[in-house]
Amino acid sequence: MRQRTTSGIVRPSGPGAVLLRGLLFAVLALFCLYYLVPLFVMISTSLKSLEEIRAGTFLSPPRAVTFEAWGKAWNAACVGVRCDGLEPYVWNSVLMTVPAVAISTILGALNGYALTKWRFPGADIIFALILFGAFIPFQVILLPMARTLGQLGLAGTVPGLILVHTVYGLAFTTLFFRNFFVGVSDGIMQAAKVDGAGFFGIFFGIVLPMSLPAIVVTVIWQFTQIWNDFLFGVAFTVGDSNPVTVALNNVVNTSTGVKEYNVDMAAAIIAGLPTLLVYVVAGAYFVRGLSAGAVKG
């Protein structure tokens, strides 16, 4: 509910200023174009038929729009030897991403809350150790994690992948929430304690409802990371339990038959669409939460 506090800062005027301004917008427009052209190519290619792709150029818009390639990518494209399209793998990804995001976000919130509002000896050291997890290159843990999953009987399964993503997401989710809660006044905590609430009473009753911006940022971050992950997906799942990123790779990198660019493009967009959707839905919060965290962290 912020009001604008200025109605316009005085700017220099005159032909020089106008020229500079024009130049500025021209450069910005160029950058936009550079950024958006690949997206345009993907969408337009996915809407063309194979004949049109062979006949026309990469950049030309589709003459006859067809959703055939999208249909094929969804339920008929061949992933390895199985030709059911991306659909089952999208569901794999959903089944993996939703619980992994939810669990890592809730645990991160609890961690951040305990680390800032229920200070205990060594809290800073523990936070530093958790933070260290954010800097571990994930290739390093592939082998030990594969062994761990094997011992747990989760090798090659979606629950196994959920566990991996939850564990490695904790570093970031804890960081986000810790930085948010540092800015929450201790007076509120004291008031709640005097009001008789305990650790979880304050967490669920007071603190969690306040942290909506942090939750949104964390959910977007985790969703993007986990949905787009390829490394863990390819390393810890097999065939039918592959997430969509791995399946997409298998569609595109198939070495048999004709290269169906339109299907490849449609498949890639399908695989990327959910993260785009999350961004758009929660975009406003994303920016707000990031800047709030930056000031208070």
Partner 1 sequence: MAEGIRLQSVRKFFGANEVIKGIDLEIEPGEFVVLVGPSGCGKSTLLNLIAGLETLSGGDVFIGDEKVNTHPPRDRDIAMVFQSYALYPTKTVRQNITFGMETRRIPKARQEEAVTEFTRLLQIDRLLDRKPGQLSGGQRQRVAMGRALVRNPAVFLFDEPLSNLDAKLRIEMRTEIKKLHQRLGKTVVYVTHDQIEAMTLATRIAVMDNGHIRQVADPGTIYENPADLFVAGFMGSPPMNMIRGRLLRDGGLRVAPDGDEDGLLFPLPEDEAERIAAPEGHKVVLGLRPETIFAAGTELPGPDRYIFERRVEVVEPTGPDTMIVFQIGGQDGIARVRPEDARATGTPFSFEVDMGKAKLFDAATGKRL
Q: Does 196 bind partner 1 (CB under 8 A)?
A: yes
The correct pick among 5, 6, 13, 185 for binding partner 1 (CB under 8 A) is: 185
Binding span for partner 1 by CB under 8 A among 74-82, 200-208, 234-242, 282-290: 200-208
* H helix runs in 47-157, sequence order: 50-55, 68-75, 87-117, 123-132, 142-152
> Does 216 help bind partner 1 (rule: CB under 8 A)?
no
Q: Is residue 206 a contact point for partner 1 (CB under 8 A)?
A: yes
From candidates 14, 16, 209, 257, binder to partner 1 by CB under 8 A: 209
Q: Which is nearer to partner 1, 181 or 232 (CB)?
A: 181
Provide the greatest CA pair distance for the chain. 75
Q: Is 296 in the site for partner 1 (CB under 8 A)?
A: no
Determine contact, residues 279/217, Cβ cutoff 8 Å.
no
Q: Does 121 bind partner 1 (CB under 8 A)?
A: no
Using CB under 8 A as the binding rule, whether residue 193 contacts partner 1 is answered as yes
Which one among 195, 199, 277, 284 touches partner 1, defined by CB under 8 A? 195
**Contacts from 74-80 at CB under 8 Å and sequence distance 24+?**
74/266, 74/270, 77/251, 77/260, 77/263, 77/267, 78/251, 78/254, 79/242, 79/247, 79/250, 79/251, 80/239, 80/250
Long-range Cβ contacts of 35-42 (<8 Å, 24+ apart): 41/265, 42/265, 42/268, 42/269
Work out whether 204 is an interface residue with partner 1 (CB under 8 A).
no
Q: Is residue 191 a contact residue for partner 1 (CB under 8 A)?
A: yes
Kindly state whether residue 118 participates in binding partner 1, applying the rule CB under 8 A.
no
Q: How far is it, in rounded angstroms, from Cα 285 to Cα 282?
A: 5
Among 187, 253, 255, 295, binds partner 1 (CB under 8 A): 187
Residue 12 or 122: the one with the smaller Cβ distance to partner 1 is 122
Query: What gap in Å lies between CA 17 and CA 23, rounded to an integer?
Result: 10
Give me the residues that bind partner 1 (CB under 8 A), please. Answer: 1, 185, 187-188, 190-197, 201, 205-206, 209-210
